Structure 1
Amino acid sequence: MLKRPNILLITSDQQHWNTLGVRNEEISTPHLDRLAQGGTTFTRAYCPNPTCTPSRSSILTGQYPSQHGAWTLGTKLPEEKQTIGELFVNAGYRTGLIGKAHFQPLGTTEQYPSVESYPYLQNLDYWRHFTGPYYGFEHIELARNHTNEWLVGQHYAIWMEEKGCLHWRDYFMEPTGSMKASEQHSWTIPEEYHYDTWIAERTASLLRQYSDQGEPFFLWSSFFDPHPPYLVPEPWDNMYDPDQITMAAAHKGEHDSNPPHFKLTGLENADFSSYHETGFTCHGMHSHVHDEQSLRQDIAIYYGMISLMDKYIGHILDTLEQCGLAENTIVVFTSDHGHFYGHHGLIAKGPFHYEDLIRIPMIVRYPGHVPENQTSEALQSLVDFAPTLLDLAGIPIPRTMTGVSQSEVWRGRQQQARDHIICENRHEPTSIHLKTYVDERYKLTVYYNQSYGELFDLKEDPEERRNLWHEPTFAQLKSNLLLKYVWAEMGKEPIWMPRISHA
């Protein structure tokens, strides 16, 4: 009987697809480069939603956000949903998650309770005694803060105390910590107490445990960076010179043919009030006006955050090798979605489905099975991860999973497993409800109850500067793509059982 492969999933948070060292020579990522040299880099991987909770839930379930229920931020993945963690446990695997989960919201109600909510996440006595099970993971160690956010707590805070950092609150914002205003770019927290160190240390500990017990595992090592606020401890805060960084920017007139919310982003006092149906924060629905020098400094820190994360990914990869696990472990690196830092004049994220936001970095290494030092343009989606990993482990794929298995593509035996991807973004019930269809060449974005949209030719216009939606010459192309999009939507409907009789 063939030995079952171990699986190590390593994710960053909202990393732009071409910030990977093998794509951008401005950034130093020697350990991700090492991973790429031993495997295949997929240059056309996409998220199924450009925000955290929906995309992370798609990784877990193999379903799209419109199917698994966590349709936007501030919602949660229903506990009764079948997850890849449960399926691996049932097959005799050990399962663990270290770092960011974000399967549940920061708010909680009696009808929709959340253990990841504030102030619950700062009840350290609770978290000292709760390490799982959670969504199919036998063992979890979690945190929710990005850099010095006041949402710090859970297992990360406990770890800092165990490391002797009893004054850890000094490094975080009020009301949890003592900081009255956010630090700018340089974070005073010593690297030894940084959450990258925590994630790598705890991941390595589990790897050694699994190795000692000789048990197959599915382990998710989930990093928080490079998420704003832009903060990183020394010396990483000075690793990159802001004046030497290549800047992205909007081109004059590029939003003239775009939907209305694109045009508002360039105004100092943009009024997005008509989009706020729920009353909660709408990512991206704010002015994106920025100062170039400040943005240069932000990007320099963003790069520094990636390089620091890369160092600790290296520690994890080293532990795999030291434990003798590397040869039989599938290692996948990716991000939950992308990010804007000046691209098209935009900052952070929002309902703007440019490649910079929905396209993500992705590397797969599996010695002897996945080709080494290769790149592939085969279309990939995070919704494919669950069925693919199950397939590679020889575990039956549930019929309810609507992602496709990419196992033969990852192995280099097949050119492609899908001819399109779909990215959903329903951040408000109706006013921010859009879906994007991308195939080998074209990208089509439609909006709920709206006649406007986007159509880009990624071959002739890879920077997506010319929206063809309203151009008469491309009316037939748009019509054809709209039909393909409808077929794609029909094709991803789950069928939980096969038809077994005449009636």
Structure 2
Amino acid sequence: MAKRTPIARKRGGAAMAERRPNVLFLTSDQQRFDCLGVNSDGYVQTPAIDRLAAEGVNLTGCYVNNPVCAPSRATLLTGRYPRNHGVTSNGIALSEDELTVAQILSDAGYRTGNLGKLHFVPLGTRDFDRPHPGFGFDVHVNADEPGCFPDDYIRWIRQVAPGMEDKVGIPHPITGDRSKHYWDFEAPEELSYTAWVADQTIGFIDAAGDTPWFAVAGFYLPHAPCNPPAEYVDRYPASGVPRPDVVPGELDDKPEMVRYLAESLLPDTDEEVTQYRRYYYASCTMIDHHCGRVIEHLRRSGQLDNTIVVYFSDHGDACGDNYTLGKHQAHYDSFMKVPMVWRWPGGLPGGRTFEGFFEGVDLVPTLLEALSLPIPKPVDGTSLWGQLVGGDGPGKDCVLMEYFDPGIEEVVHEVPKATRYTLSGWSVLTLIDEQNKYWIDGEGNEILYDRKADPGEHVNLAGDPAHSAALGRMRKALLVKLASTYDRRHRKFASV
């Protein structure tokens, strides 16, 4: 393992707890920005996280740097862009040489725990008979796909509810049939993966005693397939479900890859999209309920106000917007913009909204500044702690998004240009600023959106001569951003 310069270990019982707060990351999976009540005029029922926002800071400009689980999670917990930590798509393992926030906090005297989904090791190649790689976590209670592998969740189910494995899981991600996107959870809710993650998190917190702790509670929902209990689904009658944001013909001027992915992922009927949305919203409400259990446990145990709580998701979901479902290389806001809420009465004002840009890479450095810990050089992100507390310092003027899949030809199947996407290096690069979003794929196909006039991202302006100046400006800005954040230890990016 690469040699690190450790922060002096300072485990010191109650005295340490008084000096430094605990840290709790509550992480949902595939939750779009507008699927918190506080971000949706209350339609999506998330009272626990809404209260967290009322008592803390709600970030309304938070974007992840990659649209799928493994790369985004690696970025969120290392503070490094995917092309720099090497996990540029699902199916690639994070190197154990990468410095994670868990390792930094462990070196600083924290007891660290991963409870639930982490997704740093590809499921198809992981040996479940061997311990999970540490990545700086003292405690690993790991399960990335509920009920699909002989992991900690299924071992628990076999102990407490023998014979219930088929009732609690989802289809295998590699060999199973995932054509069905939603159904009702068929077992008691206390056996659900969601409840289990909350229970494991509470147990980890209690076991830490007087030692300061860092916990990552990794929930799976509302990632598809969604399987919340029926009581949550019933809260969202089909008649009241918002319709997807689509414009007829909007795919006509989009690159071939975007059109193909939309057409291959969208269900056949409007009714199916409505049902998917019902189960998706219900899953968000279920996650909120069990996050609320963890928060309430902290409140009752007297630890809440000495804990930095951060709620966020690794990416979002189109939910039918732009004629697509899930997430992919199109980098629509529906799956790149995510909820993020911070609460810490000891250091943050309550009831505040931060509207500036915040990238996934910024999570680690921002947390480290809050804890008065040094930010190591490998970190690409910028601390925005000063902005969160209400300071007037400079914010970010752009956000970088990327996606590279060395096996993309297996994803897009018979698309004629698939092989050339693979050979061209980066499959997709995107940059957004206050005015525009610029997208380019490995063949040089481009998209330009006017973010203010077209927030739904329906009209591609890249071929419109009236917007040539904006196109040129964004091309240059992307190159500057890439050059300024490029780690030469990893592969070169393609010329754009």
User: What is the match of residue 221 of structure 1?
Assistant: 217
User: What is the match of residue 230 of structure 2?
Assistant: 234
Pairwise mapping of residues 262-273 of structure 1 onto structure 2 (< 5 A)?
A: 262-265=258-261
Letter in 2 for 1:332: V
Letter in 1 for 2:194: D
Any stretches of 5+ residues in structure 1 without a counterpart? 109-116, 268-285, 497-503
For residues 357 and 173 of structure 1, what CA distance do their matches in structure 2 show? Answer: 22
Pairwise mapping of residues 66-105 of structure 1 onto structure 2 (< 5 A)?
A: 66-105=83-122
Letter in 2 for 1:263: R
For residues 101 and 138 of structure 2, what CA distance do their matches in structure 1 show? Answer: 12
User: What is the match of residue 337 of structure 1?
Assistant: 315
Report the count of equivalent residues: 452
Partner deviation per Cα, 1:118-150 (whole Å, 9 max, x = no partner): xx43x5xx5xxx4x661000001011224xxx5
Task: Give the drift of 1:159.
Answer: 2.2
User: What is the match of residue 439 of structure 2?
Assistant: 445
User: What is the match of residue 19 of structure 1?
Assistant: 35
Task: Give the drift of 1:209.
Answer: 2.1
Query: In 2, are the aligned partners of 1:289 and 1:345 still within 8 Å (CA)?
Result: no
For residues 172 and 254 of structure 2, what CA distance do their matches in structure 1 show? Answer: 41
Task: Give the drift of 1:36.
Answer: 0.6
For residues 138 and 245 of structure 2, what CA distance do their matches in structure 1 show? Answer: 45
Partner deviation per Cα, 1:176-223 (whole Å, 9 max, x = no partner): 9xx99979521212101001111111101111222x2x1112111110
Corresponding residue to 2:156 among 153, 156, 159: 159
Aligned-residue CA RMSD (Å):
2.3
User: What is the match of residue 203 of structure 1?
Assistant: 201
SS in 1 for 2:34: helix
Is 2:6 aligned against 1:10?
Answer: no
Partner deviation per Cα, 1:394-421 (whole Å, 9 max, x = no partner): 2111111111111111212136531111
Letter in 1 for 2:341: I
Task: Give the drift of 1:173.
Answer: 6.1
Query: In 1, are the aligned partners of 2:261 and 2:328 still within 8 Å (CA)?
Result: no
The alpha-carbon distance between structure 1 residues 495 and 364, as it changes in their structure 2 partners (threshold 3 A), is: farther
For residues 395 and 303 of structure 2, what CA distance do their matches in structure 1 show? Answer: 29
Letter in 1 for 2:257: H
For residues 376 and 54 of structure 2, what CA distance do their matches in structure 1 show? Answer: 33
User: What is the match of residue 290 of structure 2?
Assistant: 312
Pairwise mapping of residues 385-396 of structure 1 onto structure 2 (< 5 A)?
A: 385-396=363-374
User: What is the match of residue 492 of structure 2?
Assistant: none
Query: In 1, are the aligned partners of 2:182 and 2:279 still within 8 Å (CA)?
Result: no
For residues 141 and 191 of structure 1, what CA distance do their matches in structure 2 show? Answer: 20
For residues 150 and 192 of structure 2, what CA distance do their matches in structure 1 show? Answer: 13
Task: Give the drift of 1:301.
Answer: 0.9
Pairwise mapping of residues 29-40 of structure 1 onto structure 2 (< 5 A)?
A: 29-40=46-57
Query: In 2, are the aligned partners of 1:159 and 1:198 still within 8 Å (CA)?
Result: no
Q: TM-score, normalised by structure 1?
A: 0.85
For residues 368 and 357 of structure 2, what CA distance do their matches in structure 1 show? Answer: 19
Query: In 1, are the aligned partners of 2:182 and 2:224 still within 8 Å (CA)?
Result: no
For residues 199 and 391 of structure 2, what CA distance do their matches in structure 1 show? Answer: 36
Corresponding residue to 2:76 among 59, 79, 88: 59
Partner deviation per Cα, 1:313-361 (whole Å, 9 max, x = no partner): 0011011112211112111111001111110110111111111011111
The alpha-carbon distance between structure 1 residues 173 and 311, as it changes in their structure 2 partners (threshold 3 A), is: closer
For residues 239 and 405 of structure 2, what CA distance do their matches in structure 1 show? Answer: 36
Corresponding residue to 2:486 among 477, 493, 497: 493
SS in 1 for 2:460: coil
For residues 177 and 458 of structure 2, what CA distance do their matches in structure 1 show? Answer: 41
Q: TM-score, normalised by structure 2?
A: 0.86
Is 2:241 aligned against 1:245?
Answer: yes
User: What is the match of residue 277 of structure 2?
Assistant: 299
Corresponding residue to 1:406 among 384, 391, 398: 384
SS in 2 for 1:186: coil
Query: In 1, are the aligned partners of 2:181 and 2:225 still within 8 Å (CA)?
Result: no
Any stretches of 5+ residues in structure 2 without a counterpart? 1-15, 408-419, 490-496
Query: In 1, are the aligned partners of 2:362 and 2:381 still within 8 Å (CA)?
Result: yes
Is 2:148 aligned against 1:138?
Answer: no
User: What is the match of residue 367 of structure 1?
Assistant: 345
Task: Give the drift of 1:428.
Answer: 3.7
Letter in 1 for 2:39: R
Task: Give the drift of 1:235.
Answer: 1.6
Partner deviation per Cα, 1:428-479 (whole Å, 9 max, x = no partner): 46616111111122111112232x2111111111111211111101111111
User: What is the match of residue 194 of structure 1?
Assistant: 192
The alpha-carbon distance between structure 1 residues 237 and 201, as it changes in their structure 2 partners (threshold 3 A), is: same
For residues 388 and 250 of structure 1, what CA distance do their matches in structure 2 show? Answer: 36
The alpha-carbon distance between structure 1 residues 53 and 174, as it changes in their structure 2 partners (threshold 3 A), is: closer
For residues 49 and 441 of structure 2, what CA distance do their matches in structure 1 show? Answer: 37
User: What is the match of residue 466 of structure 1?
Assistant: 459
Query: In 1, are the aligned partners of 2:28 and 2:221 still within 8 Å (CA)?
Result: yes
Query: In 2, are the aligned partners of 1:207 and 1:319 still within 8 Å (CA)?
Result: no
User: What is the match of residue 457 of structure 1?
Assistant: 450
Is 2:253 aligned against 1:257?
Answer: yes
For residues 447 and 262 of structure 1, what CA distance do their matches in structure 2 show? Answer: 10
The alpha-carbon distance between structure 1 residues 415 and 294, as it changes in their structure 2 partners (threshold 3 A), is: farther
For residues 171 and 296 of structure 2, what CA distance do their matches in structure 1 show? Answer: 37
Query: In 2, are the aligned partners of 1:387 and 1:397 still within 8 Å (CA)?
Result: yes
Partner deviation per Cα, 1:236-261 (whole Å, 9 max, x = no partner): 23221112101114211212221122
Aligned-pair identity in percent equals 30
